[in-house]
Chains A and B, each alone.
Chain A
Amino acid sequence: MNEMRPESPAGREGGVEPLLRAHRADAFEPGFAWRVMHRLRAEQADPVAALAAVVQRYFLRLAPAAGLATVALALLNVRAASRGQTALEAVLGLPPVTVEQAYQPFQLEPAATPAREGKG
């Protein structure tokens, strides 16, 4: 703390620096360390708070990967949509559904019904 302080009015006698220094707090209310340890134990015992702490701790590491994955998925969806099929449909091998197909009356598969009748 021996450096020159041209900016400080302490250089001029009668500045506010001594007043400010006198106002410096050296401690919290008595029992501060106990309160910290108590809160820490309570937090460790609470699974939700523990999970929140883990998420907070790993957020910065996971956020870029999650962001990249989101962008990649969005691009894939846009590309697949231009081909008339979403990425999920392509992965699951689902046939594209048109509006006409969606509004057709529901029918059971014709082959299944006679076979069951034949057995009976």
Chain B
Amino acid sequence: MHALTADHELVQLARDGDERAFRELVDRYEPAVAAVVVGMLGPGDDADDVGQETFIRFYRALGSFRGEASLKTYLRKIAMNLSLNALKRRRRFAFRFLSRDRAGEPLPEPPVMMEGDPEQREAQARVRAAIDRLGPRHRPVVVLRMMDGCSTRETAEILGLPEGTVLSRLSRAMRQLEDELRPYVEMDAPARTEEVAR
């Protein structure tokens, strides 16, 4: 029933207390929120928790949501802010409970079973580790712009930054990622060439 309903109608229905309408919004925007949160934090319980919190915050803000920004952008903004807070908490935890030698390193996420062959799994793990090594200023830009496919303008709007800053941070982050992932990029290149030829 709700599948074809427009966002603003679903928001209005949810505001009036229609649970099914809100659930439809959750189903509709789970991919967008997951892309941001899992991109920022990696897969795991932490990300799931932040994803849930994103929709809870949205529910609380239904009364004040005026629809000036698109719902997707609005949810991505909440998801990004909550993910950055979660990253800060992780760092505080690392600082307090890990030895000083390891305090600067990103906290490893619990291992998550990934699908695919071992080589693909290893490449995925390397990509994740490389993203985790990006600092809090560069990671959001890479997640939104390169992984989630947002435009530069949208990325700037979500992060509250000028477009020029987004571009410069992205350039620096991509250079770092290229250095770290070079072997995998080279490994992946023949497969892509075949894909293009097809």
Contacts and interface: CB of A to CB of B under 8 A. Distances in A.
A29 B60 contact: no
A20 B31 contact: no
Size category of the B interface is 35 or more
Given A19-B127, A20-B142, A36 B192 contact: no
B56 interface: yes
B159 interface: no
Nearest to B181: A16
Nearest to B168: A7
Contacts, number: 114
Contacts of A27: 30-31, 34
Specify the main secondary structure of chain B where it touches its partner. Answer: helix
A84 interface: no
A19 B123 contact: yes
A67 B61 CA distance: 23
A32 B56 CA distance: 12
A28 B147 contact: no
A37 B23 contact: yes
A3 to B, nearest CB: 6
A37 B174 contact: no
Nearest to A23: B127
B35 interface: yes
Contact of B48 (A18, A20, A32): A32
Interface stretch (B1-9, B87-95, B183-191): B183-191
Given A17-B146, A19-B123, A25-B43, A39 B56 contact: yes
B151 A1 contact: yes
B29 to A, nearest CB: 10
Give the interface centre of A20, A26, A32 by most chain B CB atoms within 10 Å.
A20
A23 B177 CA distance: 13
Contacts of A28: 30, 34, 37-38, 47-48, 51
Contacts of A26: 31, 34-35
Contacts of A19: 123, 127, 181, 184-185, 188
A20 B22 CA distance: 31
Contacts of B51: 28, 32, 36
Contacts of A116: none
A97 B127 CA distance: 73
A37 B30 CA distance: 13
Interface of B: 19, 22-23, 26-27, 30-31, 34-35, 37-39, 43, 47-48, 51-52, 55-56, 59-61, 63-64, 123-124, 127-128, 131, 142, 145-149, 151-152, 167-168, 170-171, 174, 177-178, 181, 184-186, 188-189, 192
